Amino acid sequence: MLKRELIIKKRFLDKYNNAKSELIFKNHYELIVCVMLSAQCLDSRVNLITPSLFANYPDINSLANANLMNIKELIKSCNFYQNKAINLIKMAKSVVENHNSIIPMNFNDLTKLAGVGEKTANVVLCEGIGANVMAVDTHIFRVSKRLKISNAKTPNDCAKELTKLFKTDLDKLHKGIVLFGRYICKAKKPDCNNCFLNDLCDEFKQQKNS
């Protein structure tokens, strides 16, 4: 790792040492549901949806036996709610039938579940057990490009590049970079003047010199 990348890593770890997901969950069951719902949807919106969802379906067994129309009604304010409702029930049935009603906390089993791709699986592992894995969402993808720590064309390829680059503390970096992208290095009107990495950002330097 080059000195610049070492500095970037250290600053993220120092700044976001105790960072946590903004999704609200109590256990692995609630976690996987929250993460599945959060695809193309704000965490704040998910947090408004899940209280009534979990009140009606408090565990994986109840979700596996849920009525599809009821699930759709409960999550209808979420983007792509119809497909998500179908996948939530399919996921739950698979966990009940193949994993003794326990959410499997390993990548291979998670990615075999309906609605769980590589990013979702890694977020679940990151948040659920602090696994040393990197999940790349839109925020991390954007930040990685701006800081020029990844040239990948897809989020999954970006995750592989960042994993190879940083190697350790990937769960902490994931959580920190997400918050950094959400509140500082925003897609529109990034807060460059208050950014703790602006001395390492070519885009910021170009703005100052333009």
Distances (CA, A) of 35 to 29, 40, 118, 132: 10, 10, 12, 18
Of the candidates 137, 171, 172, 175, the residue annotated as catalytic is 137
Tell me the CA distances in angstroms from 49 to 27, 28, 67, 114, 151, one per residue in order: 17, 17, 17, 20, 35
Note the maximum CA span of the chain. Answer: 61
User: Which helix (H) or strand (E) covers residue 118, if one does?
Assistant: helix 118-129
Q: Is 137 noted as a catalytic residue in this protein?
A: yes
Q: Which structure tokens are listed for 160?
A: 């592989």
The reply to whether 119 belongs to the active site is yes
Residue with tokens 């770890």, as numbered in its chain:
13
- Catalytic residue (choose from 9, 84, 119, 172): 119
Q: Which residues are catalytic?
A: 119, 137
